Structure 1
Amino acid sequence: MRYLLFAVLFFHPTAWAQEPRAKLPVPSEAALAESARVVAEVYKADYEKAKTPAAKVELAKKLLTEGVATKDDPPGQYVLFRIARDIYSQQGDLPGALEAVRCITAEFTVDAMQLKVDAATAAAKASKPAKAQLACAEQLLSLVNETVAADQYPHAKSIAELAVVCARGAESVELIKRATLKAKEVDDIAAAFLAVQQARETLDAKPTDPEANQAVGKFLCCVKGDWPRGVSMLALGSDNDFKAAAILELEAKPDSLKVGDAWWKVSESLEDLGKQRTQMHAASWYRRAIPMLSGLTKAKVESRLKSLPDATDSPAPNVAAAVKERDFGFSNVWINETYKTTIRKVGRSWVETSHTTGKVTLNYVEVDRNEKYVELFCVERKHKMRLLKSGKADFDGKGSWQWISNGHWEK
């Protein structure tokens, strides 16, 4: 039996680009100490001139620029970035400090989140005027979303508390309210995350377990606001209303009105944050449907949209960056030459189409993705399949993985 699957580069210009350059390890303490001595010597006059906060920020900019230009001296580059980060943080300039962290993480293998948290903590505690406090608080709230998206809840809690402090320093009633609500929200999400740990462990062993998929999928969507990851789990879940809404959303060509109505129905059984998250998600589908609606149906949808708070008030975390990081560079089109079918990613689901008839023959839900493979679950046949980074496939038809090499089954 032959079953050859290989990835096809399809409408993806970056797919032909070279592999990204490997990051460097952090230089040794001895090398960093020597580079710090050299930097202090070379920029001695600049340090002496930097007496005011503005002058110190300019010095940080200069060091950061020099670091970017330094290509042949890793210890020197690391030290320049690190000193720039520290100066920015000491002056309460969080955007500058985070840019320095970005430069470090682009070149070196480090704990990026820890560096961001350290920079944010130092910048938040630095003495600064009200206007700078305002900018820092806004940046901290953005960082809270990032830490929540990465499930780094201890970090999220500490950053949220700092955001409240900066908001008070800015004397902005509106910002104090938002920061306080964000801190409470982080506590709620952290508690909910702990509550689904057993379900997450179950999914490690049984990826299609209905109860576990329901618990984790509901957490991701209704608590965390991470719909791209959660919907496919809810499609495998145990609650009929959630399942029906998720399956409608994962269709190759979803009906926006039906999807919106289905999620609105789900929201009516929820409370507080879950209700808000789900209604805002339903609203995103309703807005797509409105141009095609008329009469009573349009009036119903518009009434529901008006009943919701402004989308900018939604506390849903910004998970776009995290989702992008989880893409791992896989092709979205795979061709089975033996059976003349193509498996293609459509939205957040996958479909298998016959080359002969052009019709969809099978539907798949993505249940996992990492650096090595994308794992799919076939809705109709109830089997699992892994699309490997190597361009081959790993097919589970009878409960055990069978690896494919050169188009042949291997025992």
Structure 2
Amino acid sequence: MPAYGVANLLAQADVARDAASGAVRVDHGCLVLDATTDRAGSCVGFSHERPSEYTLTAVVERISGVDHFDLGLPAGWRRALAALDELSGTSELVSLQTNANVPDRMLLTPWRLHTVTCRVFGGEVLHLAVEVDGREMVHYEGPLDRVPFFEGAKDPAAFFARSSATSAFRVHRLDVAPLDWRKQPQPTSDALDSARQAVESMVSSLRSQRVKPGDKSPPAHKLWRAAAQSIDDPARHWVLLDAAVQQAAAEGDLALACQAAADLAKNFDADLDLWNAKWLSAVLKSAKNPAARKALGVELLRQVEVAVALQQFALAEALVSAGAAMKSLPVEVLKELKIRGVEIGLWRSQTAAGQKALATSPDSQDDHRAAGLYLAVVRNDWAAAADHFGKCGETEWADLAAHEAKAVGADDDPVAVGERWWGLSAKAEAPLKWWCLERAARWYRLAPPNGSAKTKATFENRAKLLARQRKTSSDAFRPRHPIDALRIGDRWYKLYESPATWKKAAFACGGLGGSLPIVKTLEQNLDLVRALTSGTSGSERRTCWLSCTDQLQEGDFRWPDGSAVASGFTNWHPGDPDNAGGGQDVGSMLVVFEQGKIKSEWYDEAENAPHPFICVWDD
């Protein structure tokens, strides 16, 4: 690979040539690894010249299943494996199984985009580091010859991406760059003119082709691939990426246009705000009817998330601004765009200041504070943030960052930590103030439900103040339900079809700011039945988890807020809960849907019995 350039491996993917197993496809510039009957899972390789030391960045979305996603990392004559959410096998260090110590959690939770960063450097003493959403999960340092060679791609020197047979993933980005790489300046006008003349015939020929429905390689995609192959020529690379973006906009392909636009932004140090606004205006005009506008709005939000995951905040802001100006988008999309605009504004300003400070080896207090805020607010790298805060005398920030960096333990007092975040919010200006308030709210939610009268009074007071602040902030930085969640009554519901254990399901919902269902009234039970059976027909039996458990005291089922299940509405199957066979400590609901008649009952079950699950958010 040349010293210049971030290579987008997805632009070079040839599924017909490089798929090693399973079901692999390309969809609007994204790689989809589907669940498969092939025991080896779905795997595709990327044969690309690599630097000896590199960073591989993937933006990944779990579509279904709860099992692992793997990245093959070539290193010298070996190839290591980063296995995220591995459920089986050994936990040997060199396989980098990133959740070996937290088997009840999913690193790659459903419905969310996750950024996975892998750094490979060193020689005979090799360093392999894996981060998920800014948090380092594994750092291997040891002899290269201890790293086994992991099979996957057909080419033994290739990178590869692989899903387990029972899970499906969408890979939105897969970039590789030299470890010490920096952005290049925009090519000169003369260089760009020369490059345009050189590719004019090819570009004109591709643009003249008709786009056919279902075409897997339309003209925009071919231009994007051609740009990827010209990465060693900056001017040609710029011209072809620009052509790919304009053609994708003309084809109404927002996802592919964003792929190419992000490639250009990642490689060149240039002001692209006006350029982004122009091509976005063209692509948004392609939606001619309400259904098309709704689909475009959902895709617009997805691309905002991808841009944020890549820290391409200029592109994210351009997407938000273009969408907000399109008043014909659905109301819920416009509301979410408004919220994202507030959040991205903070992230962009903190990134600019923080990266500038880190690039110059911070030595002043202001530099260390800027670096700390960037690492905490944007990168979620709390351990590194705590170090910088400590060096600039921000002891409160440093101590709170240290709390955030470690798992919550039995000795922690969540209310006290929440109060400290609340105190910091009083000293901060908006929107950082709102971000601090939501950190406080997160810690309050971790407090035990059976707190003292003083704690409950604190919660009531803070809840009123927080509600007023959220009106001002438009709910920025607050965990929110997915845009496609189903509203029933005063709650939002999202069904996840792939079975998961009770703890994994609870963790996934909690990570999104929701919870497994809490059912205290007949109306809430009926709403949950409706959410579980929505869209079904014929004869069907469906089960989902409830949030109640008797893990603290056998037979005494409680909801997460500490209230007794028996004190309100219940719908237990006759004889349940019975703890049959022992270990049946969590609740589930079975719904039988047959020829228009619905029957629902609750059961106690073992927490490791996999079921589909529903996440619920209060309005």
Shorter-chain TM-score: which interval? 0.3 to 0.5
With the length of structure 1 as denominator, give the TM-score of the two structures.
0.48
The structure showing larger relative contact order (alpha-carbon pairs under 8 Å, at least 6 residues apart) is 1
Choose between structure 1 and 2: higher helix proportion: 1
